[in-house]
A and B are shown apart, each in its own frame.
Chain A
Amino acid sequence: MSPDGTIRAEHVWKRFRARLGRMLMRDQLAGIGDRVRRSSADPNRGWRWALQDVDLRIAPGEAVGLIGANGSGKSTLLKLLTRVMYPYAGDIEVKGRVGALIEVRAGMHGDLTGRENMFLYGSLLGLGRKGVAQKFDEIVAFAELEDAVDRQVKFYSSGMQMRLGFAVAAFLEPHVLLVDEVLAVGDASFQQKCLDRMRAVISQGATLVFVSHDLAAVQSICTRGVWLTNGMVARDGPVNEVLGDYRQAIEKRVVLQSHADGPVRLLKMEVAGGDGGFPRTQGPLAVKLVAQSDDARFARVSIGITEGPPTPVFVISRDLNLAAGQTEINCLIPRLPLARGTFFVWLCFQDRDGRELLSWQPAGQIEVAGPVLDFAPRAVVRLAPVHVEASWEVGR
């Protein structure tokens, strides 16, 4: 017998209907006729594989971050672990009590008060009335709902609902805590509180599986990363390595996806460091743009550097006049404040009133050479991979 908190998934497959009809009788009847006619055809026709041969073993006390693009199978895997869904093939075993927070309003009934919902949710998670009653004050205090606990949940803000759901799931002393992209609803201070609570749950020996697109949060809390792509495990290893690979991959994909079509078009962009080589930390970075405009117009150009998602580390802007036809724009950053890594250059043109002439989009990729970013202490979310020069003196 494996100890409580163990998660074991062996050769797990899961498929969904590619076109999930309307689940009406006539559709199903039509489907039967279809099946009879093509009885020898591929049995997987019309199905889409969400998970393919996923193998995952998680020991008690591990904190695993599950990352991957939309539709890569993260939520499906989590639902299989909670037993909400059943695998097509393969074995799944989750030992111990599972606290799962799959979605904000999961298990909440709008017509009931926060207190009543707490007991409902508690019994859904397998905890009796007594168990919830014991933890009641703690849960209410954590969720900061002292004034609202006897109000109907439909009058709660979405942040309040999330706080209630998270507090109940996290205070049930679960052996396994599964959290799916829900923290984004809370404000910054509550997010931090949730991350702290998750850490406390882990330190008590529980297992955490955390699904999030907030890579910084994943990095700050998880020790192991599992990257799913197309329903398969692409990487499984220490969180920093897996996240590094993942960041590079999403940037490459973004390049392939960008198109430009509008009043202003980007013809060319070149990015280079000093002497035309790789840009270096605290070294120069030259960006050369060639833009084409239908007629002469005012424009504000913004250049942003991102680490993957469209949220930039920093943005620099400049007002300028575009000629009819082509305009060459050169921008020089004398001292690039980025640490070593792969970054992406995003770009946007706006007119005087802030309307977009060319929407915010990725235009190129840079590899920055230089010192590796210092690791943030555990429990701290680092926002920007900025390299700051510092001199230290340690004395007595």
Chain B
Amino acid sequence: MTDDAPTTDAGLTTKAVPPPRARRKIRLSSSLRELWSARELVRTLAERELRARYSQAVLGLAWAVLTPLVLMIVFTLFFRRVADVDTEGAPYALYAYLGLLPWTFFSSSVSLGGQSLIQNLALLNKVYCPREVFPLASVIVAALDTLVSTAILGLLFVITGYAPRLTTLWVPVILVVQLAFTLGVAFTLSSVVIYLRDLRHLLPIALQLGLFATPVAYGIDAIPKSLHVLYSVFNPLAPVIDGYRRTVLFGQAPDWDLLLPAAGTAAVVLVAGYLLFKKLEAGMADVA
């Protein structure tokens, strides 16, 4: 919209007093109902992102697998030599890969989801839909990528001849914590980035640091035991990754003393992130 000198063509003058600003009520239940009714849109958007990505790339699905695979190889070849990691008898490649799967999912959810609104500004500014469909579709795309990478995990088990333990059945519980935290961060970042565009350049650096601040290449035991709970509250991914290793590789139950605080953080981040998103949603088209 262009700036326009005040027009007096019709003999109108500027109204003196604007009314007080109307507060938009945010109701969690009706927002979720609307999101549910837009599920087909989420599917279409995820499909669009996948198609647009893979119609150009020759390697196609291989891209999805490449990131955790390459990191796993790098960790196995180099990190292993520098630091002494106690894998309790499990092959280090499996140990690292099991940490890399949730981490890669988190990292690509956050970087895809964080940019999802900015990349869809053209749409945001012209068509109405519940805006959370965009980060949600990105997280779904990241989840599909992770699913493909998980197939490699099966292959690793075969190659190393190491069998997953029965306690693997705990995985869905841990997965809920992981998903909640990842979604919450994706909602928060995507909405904030619209207003603070330079955050986008900070994001890759933050994720780089996050990879080392999270027990991906190493175990949670590298942190002093007295700090474990605090660490789990601030980085819920730590007990999540630790939980996967305990259940899948070591045949133990998840460490509830750590996983429960992490679940608390994840729940707070998810609800607060979603509410923040709904709050910031109102002004998105104004600054787009």
Contact = CB atoms under 8 A, between A and B. Distances in A.
A123 B130 CA distance: 12
A87 interface: yes
A79 B197 CA distance: 23
A299 interface: no
Interface string A205-238: 0000000000000000000000101101011000
A20 B283 CA distance: 13
Contacts of A232: 12, 15
B126 interface: yes
B84 to A, nearest CB: 40
A331 interface: no
Contacts of A16: 1, 286
A100 B127 contact: yes
A71 B3 contact: yes
B18 A44 contact: yes
Contacts of B22: 87-90
B133 to A, nearest CB: 9
How big is chain B's contact interface, by range? Answer: 35 or more
B21 A89 contact: yes
Contact of A106 (B2, B18, B126, B285): B126
Given A105-B122, A249-B9, A82 B127 contact: yes
B24 interface: yes
A386 to B, nearest CB: 26
A295 B137 CA distance: 69
Interface stretch (A112-120, A142-150, A320-328, A343-351): A112-120
Interface string A81-103: 01111111110000000101011
A15 B9 CA distance: 21
A112 B7 CA distance: 44
Given A90-B22, A105-B122, A52 B44 contact: no
A-side interface mostly: mixed
Interface residues of A, number: 63
Interface string A45-72: 0001110110000000000000001111
A26 B41 CA distance: 35
Contacts of A250: 9
Interface stretch (B50-58, B145-153, B172-180, B214-222): B50-58
A111 to B, nearest CB: 4
A253 interface: yes
Contacts of A111: 51-52, 55-56
B255 interface: no
B152 to A, nearest CB: 27
B1 A75 contact: yes
17 contacts: A13-B18, A13-B19, A17-B287, A20-B287, A28-B196, A52-B14, A88-B18, A89-B21, A89-B22, A90-B22, A102-B125, A103-B126, A106-B126, A109-B52, A229-B12, A230-B12, A234-B10
